[in-house]
Amino acid sequence: MDKVWCLLTGVMLLLLGRCSVDLPNPPVQDDDWMHGTQSAVFRPEAAPPMPEKVPYVFETVDPEEWRTGSAEVPGGFAFYCPVKEREGQNLGDWALTLGQIWTIFGEPADPEWYEDYFCYFVTAEDAQGHVYYFQLYQGSGGPSVCAPVQDTEEYAQAAQMLCAVICAAAPADYTWDPGRGESEDFDWAVRYSCRDGHALAEY
């Protein structure tokens, strides 16, 4: 009896083995890792306080007006800094940052270059009437500030204050979906949104 049972067990295992070998492998979806969602939540208690004194008037201007003014600034596009520390951030954090920028400056302009996800043309005017020109945008590295000038202390101070004001602002409710973009290093199709402090990136 034991021999018969062992024989039947062996036949069943053999048949199961054959079935498992004959079953087709599940289809592999290329680039599946590129599709999903990432989120972030604005926590007022964790946000830095709004600076007590902001020695600049920040405003967005027409792109042509910005180009005309910035053309008079000597140097090239050498000044650059991230809006926030990037370590540990994801696309949800970038969507949250756009919501904070949106609170201050409203809806972005259409991206000027194909690799930008959003773009603002911003000026900062101090009490002495000096005007500083910035682009506030997101490329492949996240929300950033750049300026048409070599790195100077005056521009650095204005940029740091701009970033401090943004980081302290509560995010606006918005949806931003400018379409598909691409660069030499990557391509994206991302939809950003924010509701009641909950930011979402869908890609």
The string of pLDDT tens digits covering residues 90-127 is: 889 999 999 999 999 999 987 666 567 888 999 999 99
Higher pLDDT, 167 or 34: 167
Find, among 97, 198, 200, the residue nearest to 142 by Cα: 97
pLDDT of residue 187: 58
pLDDT of residue 75: 64
- Provide the number of structural domains found in the chain: 1
Domain interval for residue 47? 32-202
Whole-angstrom CA distances from 142 to 95, 102, 118, 127 are: 10, 15, 10, 31
Contact 201, 143 (CB under 8 A): no
| Domain-located, residue 15 | no
Question: Which residues in 41-66 are b (16+ Cβ under 10 Å) and which e?
Answer: ebeeeeeeeeeeeeebebebbeeeeb
Higher pLDDT, 141 or 176: 176
Question: Taking all residues of the chain, what is their mean pLDDT, rounded to a whole number?
Answer: 78
In this prediction the pTM is 0.78
| Top-ranked range on mean pLDDT: pick from 18-22, 41-45, 68-72, 78-82 | 41-45
| Domain-located, residue 104 | yes
Token duo for residue 36: 């999903």
Q: Is the pLDDT of residue 53 over 80?
A: yes
